[in-house]
Structures are given as structure tokens and as C-alpha cells.
């Protein structure tokens, strides 16, 4: 099956590294014009320059003023047909070690920011009769992970909100789906590995090995495992798939459905 996204514009939040970058590459390979977003301007521009039709827009989606600037910059390029929401997860920690400021930041970064951006561009999607919203969340939506109260909560919160939107716009050519990464070998997982190594007083390599052994396929996932599903969900072939949350986790999640 050939995925053809010629003539489509995709915005990938957090799209210059890790899983977001994997999605950006797959969308680019399918022919979309890809706008990648990130906080590191020099790295972001270098990433965009690697794409066939890439643009970079800086900004932190968790900051209201930067969100407004991001929206204006993207609109100057062209309203996206495809939005991939992706924000770095909150730090791993037991609930009692979190405070109100961290909860507010996690909500702004992982729930409110993505929702506000989708709200802005839904009318344009509705007008053209085509739109794709793809949310990179986490397998914790289906199976909670220990010592991650912040991440568990905000990932589930965004999933509920996006699931509601999916049903509201389903008849207008717009789909909304989630991709749930498992233990993927990215910078975000490295932070979890570092935290666990400190708590267990063992080496980071030992933690990494423990994680790999917990996955039925026997290894951590990669961005290359992730991007192709993003491109498929963005395609016309996926027009009848909406309101779904699909794990890419090597069999890690022990959910029934």
C-alpha cells in the first residue's frame, strides 16, 4: 500500500527529536509538507532542513504567549491538514514528591496546549472536509506505570478530551486518534531510566536491560518503529478509523482491548 500525502500540510509538535521526529520523517516521505516544532531553534532548523519540504516553527506549547506566536507562524505557512500533538512527559516521581506547580505545568503542557492548537485549526479542517489529529501519548493510557502520577494523569486526560472531539467531528472528514508508545529508546525514556537507577541504586545499563526484558519482543522500541503508523493514520486509507488508541509497545501492555 502506497501512502500519498501530496498536497497536505502536517504540523508535528515536538517534531525535531525522538518519536515526533520519526513521525515527521514518515509524513515527509509520504509527500506532505511538514512543519516541525520544538524549543531548540538551531537544532529545529537543522532537522527541518533534512526534510524534502520542511519548515521549522519554534515554541513551547505549554506557554500561552509562545503558543500564540506558534499559531501565527504556522498560519503564515498554511493551516495544517494534519496535526500531530506531542509533548514531553512530566518527570517520573511518586505522587508525594510532586507539587501543585508541577501539576499545573503538566496540565498546560500536555492537555491545554495541544487542545488549544487543535481548537484553532479545526474550522479550517472542517471547511476543507479533511483533517487528521494524531496524539502521541503513552501506553500508560491503558496500563498505568509506577511512580508516574503526573504522566499517568495527563495522558489519560488528553485521551478523554480527544476522544470526545473525535465523535464530534467524525462526520466532517476529520479523524482523531492516539498512538501509544511503550518503552521507546528516546530521551524521554532516558530520564525515566536515570530516575529508576538512582532510586534502585543500580547502573543505568542494568535498568535498560530490565526494561528490555519486560517487553515480549525483547527490545526497546525506536522512532523507526513508530513513524509509519503515524503516516498511515494521516492518510485517506485511514478515513474510517477514529477515536482509537493504538499501542506500539512490542507487546508490553497487558490490556485485553
Where is average pLDDT lowest: 4-8, 108-112, 132-136, 185-189? 185-189
| Alpha carbon 130 to its chain's center | 20
Instruction: Give the percent of the chain with pLDDT over 90.
Output: 89
Ordered by where they begin, the domains of the chain are 9-182+224-246 (3.40.50.720), 183-220 (no CATH)
Residue 173 CB coordination number (10 Å): 15
Here the cell at position 253 is: 501492555
pLDDT of residue 104: 96
Which DSSP letter does residue 110 get?
Answer: I
Please say whether the dihedral angle defined by the alpha carbons of residues 133, 138, 141 and 147, taken in this order, is positive or negative.
negative
Mean pLDDT (the chain) is 95
pLDDT band at residue 91, thresholds of 50, 70 and 90? confident
User: Mind listing the pLDDT tens digit for each residue in 118-156?
Assistant: 999 999 999 999 999 999 999 999 999 888 899 999 999
Q: Which tens digit of pLDDT belongs to each residue from 6-54?
A: 999 999 999 999 999 999 999 999 999 999 999 999 999 999 999 999 9
Higher-pLDDT residue of 48, 186? 48
What is the structure's pLDDT at 13? Answer: 98
At residue 196 the predicted structure's pLDDT band, cuts being 50, 70 and 90, is: confident
Can you read off the three cell numbers belonging to residue 218? 525483547
With contact defined as beta carbons under 8 Å apart, do 254 and 214 qualify? no
Contact 4, 30 (CB under 8 A): yes
Q: β-strand 174-181 against 245-248: which pairing, if any?
A: parallel
- How many other C-beta atoms can be found within 10 angstroms of the C-beta atom of residue 73? 16
Amino acid at each position: 500500500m502506497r501512502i500519498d500525502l501530496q498536497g497536505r500540510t502536517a504540523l508535528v509538535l515536538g517534531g525535531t527529536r525522538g518519536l515526533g521526529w520519526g513521525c515527521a520523517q514518515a509524513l515527509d516521505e509520504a509527500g506532505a509538507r511538514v512543519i516541525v516544532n520544538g524549543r531548540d531553534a538551531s537544532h529545529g532548523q537543522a532537522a527541518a532542513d533534512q526534510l524534502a519540504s520542511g519548515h521549522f516553527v519554534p515554541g513551547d506549547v505549554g506557554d500561552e504567549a509562545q503558543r500564540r506566536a506558534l499559531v501565527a507562524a504556522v498560519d503564515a505557512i498554511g493551516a495544517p491538514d494534519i496535526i500531530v500533538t506531542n509533548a514531553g512527559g512530566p518527570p517520573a516521581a511518586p505522587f508525594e514528591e510532586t507539587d501543585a506547580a508541577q501539576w499545573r505545568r503538566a496540565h498546560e503542557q500536555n492537555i491545554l496546549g495541544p487542545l488549544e492548537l487543535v481548537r484553532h485549526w479545526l474550522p479550517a479542517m472542517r471547511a476543507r472536509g479533511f483533517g487528521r489529529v494524531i496524539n502521541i501519548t503513552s501506553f500508560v493510557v491503558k496500563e498505568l506505570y509506577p511512580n508516574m502520577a503526573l504522566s499517568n494523569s495527563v495522558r489519560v486526560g488528553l485521551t478523554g478530551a480527544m476522544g470526545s472531539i473525535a465523535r464530534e467531528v467524525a462526520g466532517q472528514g476529520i479523524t482523531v486518534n492516539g498512538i501509544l508508545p511503550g518503552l521507546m529508546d528516546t530521551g524521554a525514556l532516558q530520564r525515566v531510566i536515570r530516575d529508576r537507577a538512582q532510586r534502585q541504586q543500580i547502573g543505568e545499563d542494568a535498568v535498560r536491560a530490565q526494561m528490555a526484558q519486560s517487553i515480549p519482543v525483547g527490545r526497546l522500541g525506536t522512532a523507526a518503529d513508530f513513524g509509519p503508523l503515524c503516516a498511515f493514520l494521516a492518510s485517506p486509507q485511514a478515513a474510517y478509523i477514529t477515536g482509537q488508541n493504538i499501542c506500539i509497545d512490542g507487546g508490553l501492555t497487558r490490556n485485553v482491548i
